[in-house]
A = this chain, B = another copy of it.
Amino acid sequence: MVDLTQIMDDEVFMAFASYATIILSKMMLMSATTAFYRMTRKVFANPEDCVTFGKGENAKKYLRTDDRVERVRRAHLNDLENIVPFLGIGLLYSLSGPDLSTAILHFRLFVGARIYHTISYLTPLPQPNRALSFFIGYGVTLSMAYRLLKNKLYL
């Protein structure tokens, strides 16, 4: 029987696991941020959520949208759209035997860029802060995809 804990002795894989866990935890913070703004601003999407703030028609006025909440939701969706490819491609890239320092450079750039993307989106900072951080994360993922397909293409 194979000892799975050995997989985690691989330094590239351990680094990927750490950075992936950090960026996923950051993404999960977006849910908490949405919930925070929904509660403090009393902005809800479901009738059953605003029962505590009033009954009948009085409660229905809280079924609305809010710029702040929509902004967090857009940032969250953008995270999903970019972190899913990073997870999939990054995992396979980590298993394809890359150079340790190259791999860590990729992971650090991606995680840094996505954290800066969230800061740019939620503050909001003027463009091109957000656009730039988006493209750095995007480029890092494509660079890993390119190296993976160049070395290991099997169709």
Query: Which listed residue (B17, B126, B155) contacts A51, Cβ 8 A?
Result: B126
CB under 8 Å from chain B, chain A span 112-151: 121, 124-127, 130, 134, 138, 141-142, 145, 148-149
- Give the chain B neighbours of A126 by CB distance below 8 A: 48, 51
In contact, A89 and B24 (Cβ under 8 angstroms): yes
Total number of A residues with any Cβ neighbor in B under 8 Å: 71
In contact, A15 and B155 (Cβ under 8 angstroms): yes
- Check A57 for interface membership: any CB of B closer than 8 A: no
Kindly provide the distance from the CB of A32 to the nearest chain B CB, expressed in whole angstroms.
8
Write 22 A-B pairs (CB below 8 A) sorted by A numbering. Answer: A2-B2, A2-B6, A4-B95, A15-B155, A20-B88, A21-B88, A24-B85, A24-B88, A24-B89, A27-B81, A28-B85, A28-B138, A28-B141, A28-B142, A31-B134, A47-B124, A48-B127, A51-B126, A52-B127, A80-B80, A80-B84, A108-B155
Interfacial residues, chain A to chain B (CB-CB below 8 A): 1-15, 17-22, 24-25, 27-28, 30-31, 45-49, 51-52, 71, 74, 76-77, 80-85, 87-89, 91-92, 94-97, 108, 121, 124-127, 130, 134, 138, 141-142, 145, 148-149, 152-155
